[in-house]
């Protein structure tokens, strides 16, 4: 019975602590980046993301990243009236990391770098993102290729998420600077 009461006391203290943190955040001017701006705030960062045209990116990896960015910026597809343009270039390298005594590679590291140029508010702003993933290299060519493709897809998801955060933050800062 005593352990049950102790757990309940800890939960109550935790809830009180969370309530205090929320109260402190509300008083410091904290606003969510993706929240609605309301009538007095004008356009929010999400609307700016939705008004961004994402140009096509070369190669299969570029197509995957393009679609991931579209999903994150505007799930309804390309905007009909775009106010901003995003151009992205990709570069990726693979390095062998694990080898056996007979020089057989067992592990590889994939590094993907993206450079995004956003043309918005009559200026061009550059955003950079980098993600690293490792994968097992099998003696089977097919299995090795599937593992590499999976690692590449994982890193592209990380890059898409990172670019969205960076660009949404840029839009929010621009809004705050204007008024």
Domain extent listing, the chain: 1-30, 34-178
The model's pTM: 0.73
Q: Report the range of poorest mean pLDDT among 36-50, 51-65, 158-172.
A: 36-50
Instruction: Quote the distance between the C-alpha of residue 130 and its chain's center.
Output: 11
Judge whether residue 12 has pLDDT over 80. no
Judge whether residue 61 has pLDDT over 80. yes
Specify burial of residue 131 (Cβ count, 10 A radius: 0-12, 13-18, 19+): buried
Q: How confident is the model at residue 10 (pLDDT cuts 50, 70, 90)?
A: low
3-state helix, strand, coil in the chain (%, to 5): 45, 25, 25
CA dihedral 133, 139, 144, 145 (to 10 degrees): 150
Q: In CATH, which of 2.160.10.10, 3.30.160.150, 3.40.50.10860, 3.40.1190.10 is domain 34-178? A: 3.30.160.150
Q: Mean pLDDT across the chain, nearest whole number?
A: 81
Tokens for 24, please give them. Answer: 């402190």
Cα Rg of the chain (Å, integer): 22
């Amino acid at each position: 019975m005593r352990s049950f009461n102790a757990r309940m006391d800890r939960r109550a203290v935790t809830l009180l602590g969370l309530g205090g943190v929320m109260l402190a955040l509300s008083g410091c001017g904290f606003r969510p980046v993706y929240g609605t701006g309301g009538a007095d705030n004008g356009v929010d960062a999400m609307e700016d993301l939705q008004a961004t045209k994402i140009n096509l990116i070369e190669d299969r990896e570029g197509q995957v990243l393009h679609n991931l960015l579209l999903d994150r910026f505007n799930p309804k597809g390309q905007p009909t009236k775009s106010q901003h343009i995003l151009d992205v270039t990709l570069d990726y390298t693979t390095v062998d990391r694990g080898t056996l005594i007979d020089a057989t590679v067992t592990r590889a590291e994939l590094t993907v770098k993206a450079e995004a140029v956003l043309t918005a508010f009559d200026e061009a702003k550059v955003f950079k993102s980098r993600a690293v993933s490792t994968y097992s290299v099998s003696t089977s060519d097919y299995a090795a290729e599937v593992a590499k493709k999976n690692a590449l897809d994982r890193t592209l998801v990380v890059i898409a998420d990172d670019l969205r955060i960076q660009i949404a933050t840029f839009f929010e800062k621009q809004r705050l600077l204007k008024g």
